[in-house]
Structure 1
Amino acid sequence: MAVHIIENDKIKLTVEEHGAEIRSLIRKADGAELMWQADSAFWGRTSPVLFPLVGNYFEKKSVYAGKTYEMGQHGFARDMDFELVSKTEDELTFELKDNEATHEKYPFAFILEIGYKLDGGKVAVKWTVKNTNVETMYFSIGGHPAFNCDLDTYTLRFEKNGEANACVKANIIANDGSGCLSTKQEHHPLNNGILKMSDELFSQDALIFEDEQSDAVTLVDSEGKDVLTVTCPTPLFGVWSPVGKHAPFVCIEPWCGRCDRVGFNQKLEEREYGNSLAAGEKFEAGYEIIVK
């Protein structure tokens, strides 16, 4: 699958057409590869785009206009080929349109654009969703970038003190395999904003932080130096590393949407944190990766 590279004197970014997915981000000062390289022994992806679903529908089903649709975790965009529609020295834009295969899983027509723009040591990621229907459409969208690190010695810094409150998935608590939320929360104390990482931290799967708890999350190395910051100008974000694998990476995930709660009525237009978009309108959001 074709890949496209843009770079400046600070960073070099590689994006693949399949999934419009970041595959590499190199810091030129020392040649460090910052992105996880998709070793399937741990997790075979690097930075998938989550659309039109973040997480799971309850029982992997949604209902719209009396019809039931089934879709797997995180939607279908990450597994589809995008078209490169624009490329300059410092910017890439990819496009995905609905087709017969997407209509079987999702009732709406759409145009999804994923943009990447470099500015010094910063990568700006832009999501644009265009509603090409004659009625309101409903969707979620999110990022899932994975960054190389040592869970034993690296930490995360939130833009807050006190504690961070994370939702807990029911498939861990009840072993029901739903991949959806329970009513329980975990409370994680922060020391000067620092959250220590470990296998135990991720034993309940992804940590899901609702209610705009931090504007950004910074990855800090074993010497206390900032590696990179992921901005979170989104209603919620996730932090994840695979359960029980002691994987050498962590994902910092800005989300406009999340999985359903256990027992949700499956109505697409009533999903918590879901987005609605009027006919002919467009939705714009995104995040930044700031390399230190």
Structure 2
Amino acid sequence: MGTLAGHLVPGSVLALLGLWHIINTIRSYHLKGPTHFRTSFWHPFTSLSSKLAYMELFLILFFSIFSVVMQILDYPLFSFDFKLNNYEHATMFLHLVIYSGFTLLTELTHKSDILFEVSGILAASVFGQELFLLYYHSADHVGLEGHYHWLMQLIVIVSLLTTVTATMFPSSFSSSLVLSMSVAFQGFWFINMGFMLWVPELVPKGCTLRLGHGGDSDMHGAVVCGNHEAVLRARGLANLQFSWILGGIMIFVGCLCFSFPKKVTQRAQSIEYERLNSRVAEIPLSVAGFKQVTYP
């Protein structure tokens, strides 16, 4: 993953997955209401009777297996040399394989309701292992690169905590929504890291991109800043990017929340109107019934 493509590809997948979960979580909450809402760690593309319903789980499973293979083969070198850094990345995807494979099996065997908590535990293990391997990474993430990875760990912590909370309290809309937002945030932050750390033209002022493996700009490298002021400036820019991306996700969620209640409100008004009509219609019948009463 220490390449530009290694950040853009998984980042794009995570961002799209997070946005997909945000949309479906908000829609499910407004359709079912607070009393009937239930957290879901995946969302069907169509009705459950269709073969495309489990497309999300299939895509996650196959993408994770593909990523494990690419890390072991050391793409784009395609060698079987044991590199600890690659195997750490492959292990992250391995836990994603375990989660998606188990959850897909529970759905196909109609045991998802019984084993919901187990799927939640496995989903939490994905973020737990990601946090563990990011924190104890064998790669030398120091300086600006280390700061970007430290900010990434903050997002993963939120994903881990909200996954545990959503598993324990499946009716909590806030936990489910924050979990979806954190997944999207991880994806967008991966993309941002790819551009800011692996594109020489986007490296902050006063810093340079030190390349490895023969100077290929798509291979492993590190950003080195010339002095302390350049380091502070680069970290400040990273903090601003962190806040801007989070703000963009917040704006998207807020706009989406306002787009759904319009339909719900109209539906509620029509139901209330029908109840009102039914009550009015019942009054003449009761009155007529009283008029028909005769006494000897």
Same fold by TM (over 0.5)? no
If you compute each CA radius of gyration, which structure gives the higher value, 1 or 2? 2
The structure carrying a bigger helix percent of its residues is: 2
The structure carrying a bigger strand percent of its residues is: 1
State the TM-score, normalizing by the size of structure 2. 0.26
